[in-house]
Amino acid sequence: MRVAPAGHTRRVQESHRFELPVRVRFDEATAAGHYRASAHLRAMQDVAWAHSAALGFDLPWYRARGRFWLVRCLVLDVLLPVEPGTVLTVTTEVMAMRRIRARRESEFLLPDGTRAAHGLADWIMTTAEGLPARILPELLERFGGQTALDPARVDVEAPPPAASTSERRVAPRDVDPMGHANNAAYADWLDEAVIDAGDPAAVEAVPRRYQLEYLAPAMPGADVVARTWQGPGGWRSVFVARDGAELLRARLAVG
């Protein structure tokens, strides 16, 4: 998954793609005035849900069938800084879908068509209890059927003894209607962990790449411990619950 050059432009013309205008709010920017990584991820998931709803598969449709989508792995390439007030065109497209898993691609386009960010997300279908479930036939028929799909992974080595340790509690603001921390909250946690480890410049750098693999849900009020360290090519972080359950493996690369 290559990071595109900052000047790359691409116009969305394919009818099978879906797009929405998204205005960058003031509170979605960092102290440096740039669109947060977590805000990118929230826009990606919101436009994905809007796409599904536009085709007749809205949240009540899923609830009636006891099925839900859960993000399993994410890659976000932040290519350009984006200021508050900018109206981005955010696109989404289902690239592959098979068995329990679907992959979506998203682009964040400036008004002149320049690509400011690019994202890939692997989603898995679950039951209401959070267990993996086969994708419903109606969705396979509409979104492309049994396309081959190799699951994305984020590999990290074991944290070294000198890794930075930071702690946080899953706050009510982190929790979404699924009853656990939203996938975008982890991007804020990763940024905070890298800052705590002594590299605040990394979370503002462009280009930069986030890779996040979600292993287990973080429940409301849970205490989460992050072990964060620098290795070849950037930062790594592992988030675990107090009981030792691994929640997230993550990387942040700059350049």
Enumerate the domain spans of the chain: 18-143, 164-254
Which fold, 18-143? Thiol Ester Dehydrase; Chain A (3.10.129)
State yes or no: pLDDT of 15 exceeds 50.
no
pLDDT digits (tens, 9 = 90+) for 89-99: 999 999 999 89
Mean pLDDT on 129-140: 92
Record the pTM: 0.92
Percent of the chain clearing pLDDT 90 (strictly above): 85
Residue 9: pLDDT band (50, 70, 90) is: very low
Predicted confidence band of residue 3 (pLDDT cuts 50, 70, 90): very low
For residue 11, is pLDDT > 50? no
Q: To 5 degrees, how large is the angle CA 110–CA 116–CA 118?
A: 125
- Give me the residue label for tokens 């740039």: 34
Mean pLDDT of 160-182: 96
Helices (H) and strands (E) in the chain, counts: 4, 10
CATH: 3.40.228.10, 3.10.129.10, 3.30.750.80, 3.90.230.10. Which one for 164-254? Answer: 3.10.129.10
Residue 136 corresponds to which amino acid?
A: L
- Whole-angstrom distance, CA of residue 248 vs CA of residue 228: 12
